[in-house]
Amino acid sequence: MSARNIFVVGLNDDNHERLLRLKGAEEWRFHRIIAPEAVYDTEEFDIPAMLEEAGQTLDRFGRPIDAIIGYMDFPVSTMLPILCKRFGTRSTSLESLLKCEHKYWSRCVQREVVPQYIPGFTAFDPFDEAALGQIGAAGLSFPFFVKPIKSSGSRLGFRIETPEDFALAIDRLKAEIGSIAEPFNSVLDQANLPPEIAAIDGHYCMAEEIIGGWQCTLEGYVHDGEVVVYGVVDSIRYPGVLSFFHYLYPSALPQRVQQQMIDATRLVMTRTGFDQSAFNVEFFWDELQDRIWLLEINTRISQSHCDLFEKVDGLSHQQVTVDLALGQRPRLPHREGAYAVAAKFFYRVFFHDATVERVPSAQTLAQLEQDYPGTVISLQVEEGQRLSSLPEQDSYSFALAYIWMGGDDYQTLLRRYQQLAARLTFAFGDIDS
């Protein structure tokens, strides 16, 4: 049997290594389309140019193209249905994907089937001087949360407590939303949208009732119309702020709560028409009220969770993406990994800005990985860099390093991380706190 050719948008070395460890990888050949730095290390996305480049690469290939996949959020996720349709490979439709990724359209769909889990929301134009009044007229009062209609990570998301907070957020949104809105609009132009959705383009924002609690992510897929959830990952924040401290797998949520979220996910994903692709859905559980809230849907696996599944289940859940793209039911093992629990930690500083003057040496990082077997440390900064130049950061902090670790139990895992973190040394100048 000849090797099957799988093209990966933005394929980098780390992902390539993981892909080669998947079941069936000996029968696959992975090829890169679009350089990883074009989708990882920038906030400027020329989607028409990237689609043209990818199309030319695929046209020149001259052999069968069996699958086109990717693991990134915007812009990769939104390009995949377009490329797959053009080259006849498996993917969900662009419209079904946008019912998940267009925040306003997604909320409208969610409200149709699980209204009890959806906060109050409205769309608004940040360039409209009357926006705050329109938000109030929609029934939202302080505090509320605002974010772009197509968000990317936690970027440009703000908790609004006062009119002054809103004014500051609007200034940021006006200055920066174009880098998301313009490429997203180039995708919307290729979709068949209902008129009421077409009117809410990429320059719009969402205002939503504040929701919170124990946050988690359900990783799943749809295969021939069947919605399957195969793992739940907790998202733990630093105390008192919106920034993530770590992701934890498996979830420590009560099973009945997880099942309630799974049932809601099946209803929503079925209504969107999403199929033949992986997804994840983020939820909150308000423990005091014993109530769940649906936060958002992402139309891909989480790259941040790949190492967690590998440590606990024995394989990265990239297996799901590849299997689906090749038209077969995913073959993901369960609890066959080396660890009972695993986490991705975010080593952060809470500055407004600063210049990085010193980072841990390669020797230090290698020693830490040796002292804590199974640990992977990925620095996100380099000497001389301004923190404000980092892409995909939240509005309150900067992630200096990502650290993946496994353990026999959660408390042991936390203790090992704290010991490791104490040995990471950074230095900063020109600090704006």
Amino acid 96: pLDDT: 98
Q: Which of 130, 152, 143 is nearest to 39 (CA)?
A: 152
Percent of the chain with pLDDT over 90: 88
Residue 392 pLDDT grade (very low, low, confident, very high; cuts 50, 70, 90): confident
Q: Kindly state the helix (H) or strand (E) to which residue 349 belongs, with its residue range.
A: strand 341-349
What is the rounded average pLDDT of the residues 63-79? 94
Q: What is the mean pLDDT of residues 117-132?
A: 97
The whole-number pLDDT of residue 153 equals 63
347-391: pLDDT as tens digits: 999 988 999 999 999 999 999 999 999 999 999 999 999 998 887
| Cα dihedral across residues 163, 167, 168, 170: positive or negative | positive
| 277-286, strands of its sheet edge to edge | 291-298, 277-286, 214-223, 226-237, 244-249, 341-349, 398-407, 376-379
The two beta strands, 158-160 and 144-148, are: antiparallel
Secondary structure class of 240 (helix, strand, coil): coil
pLDDT (tens digit per residue) in 322-341: 999 999 999 999 999 999 99
CATH of domain 341-432: 3.90.1170
**What percent of the chain has pLDDT above 70?**
99
| Helix or strand (DSSP H, E) at 158 | strand 158-160
> Hey, what's the torsion of the CAs at 330, 335, 336, 339, to 10 degrees?
130
Residue 41 clears pLDDT 70, i.e. is over it: no
What is the structure's pLDDT at 37? 87
**Is 242 buried (19+), middle (13-18) or exposed (0-12) by CB count in 10 A?**
middle
**Residue the block writes with tokens 């004014």:** 167
What average pLDDT does the segment 243-255 reach? 96
In this structure, which amino acid lies at residue 19?
L
Predicted confidence (pLDDT) at residue 393 exceeds the cutoff of 80: no
Does 3.30.1490.20 match the CATH number of domain 120-209?
A: yes
Domain boundaries, the chain: 4-92, 120-209, 341-432
Amino acid at 334: H
**Which H helix or E strand runs over 121?**
strand 121-124
Place of tokens 């990783």: 219
> 120-209 with 341-432: one CATH topology?
no
